[in-house]
Homo-oligomer: A and B are copies of this chain.
Amino acid sequence: MRLYDDPIAPTPRRVRMFLAEKGMDIPKVPIIIGKGEHKTETYRKLAPNTRVPALELDDGTVILESVAICRYIEGIQPEPPLMGTTPKEQALIEMWQRRIEFELLLPMASVFRHSHPKMAALEHQVPEFAAAQKPIAEQRLALLDEDLARHEFIAGDRFSIADITAFTTVEFFCKYGGIPLPEGLDNVRRWRDQVAARPSAQA
């Protein structure tokens, strides 16, 4: 199998971190979003959603959507578990994974897409929408600090896919997305440094 991958965007990084945590290394095909390579006819045939990443299996099946790709990897390589093992644990990790996506990643990505000059060519930008989403993202970062005061990792006392989603989100959008991490938030900083020290953070 092989992974269609962009080295800068936060979403393909989720899959690379997930693979690294599993100790897996698979061939990668670069699709550089900054050069518009995700919009070519060739790539569109493979990935009709024109999004990166995509995983192509040896039988030609293409799996789109980073979390669906991670689900496949978890299925073929269950250790170490990153999506839970019991129904309750699986549900709680999925709950946190999704809460981070909808409550944090989505507003942060909306600010970036609707205000960053680099996104002007890819998006019908609505600056007023970016302005309305920014305080929502900042409020959620403050709540994340409260969450991380209660437990070591996002979904509890064990590293999971929810940490990968949150870490790649905070890393990218706080550095490049126009939403610098607010002062304070010591628990977010403690957790971020802890995840950054894992070998998978280099993936």
> Which chain A residues have a beta carbon within 8 Å of chain B's beta carbons?
48-49, 57, 61, 63-65, 67-69, 71-72, 74-76, 86-88, 90-92, 94-95, 98-99, 102-103, 124, 126, 128-129, 132, 143
Distance of A61 Cα from B156 Cα, bound (Å): 13
Query: How would you classify the secondary structure of chain A's contact residues: helix, strand, loop or mixed?
Result: helix
Distance of A143 Cα from B94 Cα, bound (Å): 28
How many identical chains are in the complex? 2
Interface pair A94/B75, CB less than 8 Å apart: no
Distance of A95 Cα from B55 Cα, bound (Å): 11
Q: Which chain B residue shows the least CB distance to A93?
A: B68
Distance of A102 Cα from B86 Cα, bound (Å): 27
Q: Which chain B residue shows the least CB distance to A77?
A: B87
Distance of A94 Cα from B68 Cα, bound (Å): 5
Interface pair B86/A75, CB less than 8 Å apart: yes
Interface pair A72/B57, CB less than 8 Å apart: no
Interface pair B90/A75, CB less than 8 Å apart: yes
Interface pair A88/B72, CB less than 8 Å apart: yes
Give every chain B residue within 8 A of A71 (Cβ-Cβ): 87, 90-91, 94
Give 7 closest A-B pairs by Cβ, nearest first.
A75-B87, A72-B91, A68-B95, A68-B94, A129-B129, A65-B98, A126-B129
Min distance, Cβ A98 to any Cβ of chain B, angstroms: 4
Give every chain B residue within 8 A of A91 (Cβ-Cβ): 63, 68-69, 71-72, 75
Q: Which chain B residue shows the least CB distance to A75?
A: B87
Interface pair A94/B65, CB less than 8 Å apart: yes
Centre residue among A61, A88, A103 by max chain B CB count within 10 A: A88
Interface pair B95/A65, CB less than 8 Å apart: yes
Min distance, Cβ A176 to any Cβ of chain B, angstroms: 21
Distance of A192 Cα from B191 Cα, bound (Å): 45
